[in-house]
Structure 1
Amino acid sequence: MITVIDQAVQARLIASVPETSAIRASLRYSRNDPFAVRVSFPPVASLDGSEVEWTFGRELLAGGLRGPAGHGDVHLWPYGPDRTVLELHAPEGMAMVQFDTSDLRRFLQRTYELVPQGCESRHLELDEDLAALLRDV
């Protein structure tokens, strides 16, 4: 049974100049963390030359496909009928990345097939997580 979804996508890093830079990114969803999605960017997309991963709510992704969504460090919004913008804020600065909306919708649909919307809490392993937390204290 599948427990993790990985999907490679094409993204466009939006720079302060009119040009954009195409980069490969990876979307990831795991049944073990059913409320979250992850997006990873290759080292060429970062200031320090290391891979960068951001984690945010699956609900935020769904909301950002319909209209402006997000608070704090992660924001998403539609950009015309075919693109979605992901805006990321960190102490080092801010980045804006465009994705094909169809790629994000396809990924989101795959996550719903793995863990249906509204059923996320059934996949949490609270006893194991609590035991691990208490071991670390």
Structure 2
Amino acid sequence: MSNVIEQPVQARLVASKPQMERVPAALRYDAADPFAVYMAFPAHATLEGTDVSWVFARELLEAGLEAPAGLGDVRVRPYGYDRTVLEFHASEGIAVVHVRTSELRRFLRRTWLLVPAGHEHHFLDVDQDVVELLRDAC
């Protein structure tokens, strides 16, 4: 069984135009980084014209499905029937996307099967992390 889960999602980019543009995005979860979720956007969907990936807590995504969550660069909140809003705050501005809540729930279920909530510490390689931290200190 793979220790990485990837799931494409259809995101709607909220812009000043009256119609929301659909952009492909991908959610990614790696058991080697058990607290994190990655959301990647292709170059044509970004202001910089390069692929952009955001990393945020799996717990944040879970909490944001039920109530507004997050105070930092990534914020998540429910929006209407079967929509969730993800806000990505950067120095260049704020990107706001809508994703179907059902897609996010399916993704989270798959991550919990791989790494159950509360068991993330079993998947960390603390010894390797310490080696990497100390390697640059010498």
TM-score (norm 1): 0.98
Q: Which ranges of 4 or more aligned residues in structure 1 deviate by more than 6 Å? A: none
Q: Secondary structure at the match of 1:66?
A: coil
Asked if residue 134 in structure 1 is aligned to residue 95 in structure 2, the reply is no
CA distance in 1, matches of 2:32, 2:68: 28
- Matches of residues 85-124 of structure 1 in structure 2 within 5 Å? 85-124=85-124
Structure 1, unmatched stretches of 5+, are none
Q: How far off is 1:76 after superposition?
A: 0.5
Residue in structure 2 matched with residue 25 of structure 1 by the alignment? 25
For residues 8-33 of structure 1, the C-alpha deviation after alignment (integer angstroms, 9 at most, x for no partner) is: 01110000122100011000000000
CA distance in 2, matches of 1:81, 1:120: 31
Q: Secondary structure at the match of 2:65?
A: helix
CA distance in 2, matches of 1:44, 1:67: 31
Q: Specify the code of the residue in structure 1 equivalent to 2:113.
A: E
Q: How far off is 1:82 after superposition?
A: 0.9
CA distance in 1, matches of 2:102, 2:31: 22
What percent of counterpart residues are identical? 56
Q: Specify the code of the residue in structure 1 equivalent to 2:107.
A: F
Residue in structure 2 matched with residue 60 of structure 1 by the alignment? 60
Structure 2, unmatched stretches of 5+, are none
For residues 91-111 of structure 1, the C-alpha deviation after alignment (integer angstroms, 9 at most, x for no partner) is: 000010000100000000000
Q: How far off is 1:48 after superposition?
A: 1.6
State the number of aligned residues.
Answer: 137
Root-mean-square deviation (Å): 0.7
Q: How far off is 1:72 after superposition?
A: 1.2
